[in-house]
Structure 1
Amino acid sequence: MRRSERKRERPDLGILSSRTLFGLQRELFARLSEQGHPRVRPRHGAVLAYLDEEGSRATDLAAQSGQHKQVIGTLVDELVELGYVERRPDPADRRAKLIVPTEKGRDHMARSDAVLAEMEAEHARAVGEQAYAEFKRVFTLVADRQAG
């Protein structure tokens, strides 16, 4: 059996994870585009998925998303240009800046949370509530273990 055939028939964790992530992103961003956010891309999730409504430091976003600080800086620049976030002085440290969502950014974050909740509910209905809950429990354990 060829490797590609084996991977299709018995995909490993990496393949399953990437298929899940890319499929989820395609659907999520298509739905968000229909709801008024057509210019946000999956790469922006490294900021928007981890951003606190009261603001977050770029170093914290980098640590949470697993991206380099320079990548986060580029993404923040793009999101500032698109009107989703702004940089403000951090009241706790005058040398630091906070990345703070704008009204447009908060709308995107709320819609994203709602769409993801809908998608999870759809998966739960498709495979069964109990099976989906067990899948999430085990997947969380695996993800936490992999993260170290």
Structure 2
Amino acid sequence: MRRGERKQTEPDLGVLTGRLLFAVQEELFDALARRGFADLRPLHGAVLAYLDEEGSRATDLARRSGQHKQVVGKALDELEALGYVTRRPDPDDRRAKVVVPTGRGLDQMRQSDAIMAGIEARHAERVGAEAFDAFKRLFRQVADDQRGWRG
């Protein structure tokens, strides 16, 4: 083996996770575009995937998604300009705002849920429902354990 070359091995957890994430995002956003949401991009998923129908604070969206507040703020600005969300005063804290999905935002959220359910059903059919459920349980455990790496 020459200097700088890597031995071919099985992909590690980071590579496999990235492959899965990008492939799911590509299919999801392609399907959304065909359903009338061509103005969305994966960055917006950092907000929309974690947004409660009744609204959420930006700080909660950042925490749930694992994204920096600045990234979530940029996505929120774009989503508000596109008509997917609006910001309202938080009734529990006058200094804070609550991000609430608009009708278009709610429609997109429901469409995304249906698309993701279809993707998962397809994989469950291919590998077997029991195996897919076990995979998701283990994957969730690994993801949760990894998020707590700093203790």
What's the CA shift string for 1:97-136, capped at 9, x where partnerless? 0110000000000000110000000001111111111111
Aligned to 1:70, the other structure's residue is in SS state helix
Which stretches of structure 1, 4 residues or longer, exceed 4 Å deviation after superposition? none
Aligned length: 145
Provide the alpha-carbon RMSD of the alignment: 1.1
TM-score, L = length of structure 2:
0.93
How far 1:76 moved relative to its partner?
0.5
Opposite residue 92 of structure 2, the aligned amino acid is A
How far 1:73 moved relative to its partner?
1.0
**Counterpart Cα distance in 2 of 1:122 and 1:59:** 34
* Paired residues for 1:1-148 under 5 Å: 2-3=5-6, 6=8, 9-148=9-148
Gaps of 5+ in 1: none
Over the matched positions of the two proteins, sequence identity in percent amounts to: 61
Opposite residue 31 of structure 1, the aligned amino acid is A
Aligned to 1:96, the other structure's residue is in SS state strand
Q: Which has the higher helix share?
A: 1
Gaps of 5+ in 2: none
Opposite residue 106 of structure 2, the aligned amino acid is R
**Counterpart Cα distance in 1 of 2:71 and 2:131:** 37
Opposite residue 58 of structure 1, the aligned amino acid is A
TM-score, L = length of structure 1:
0.94
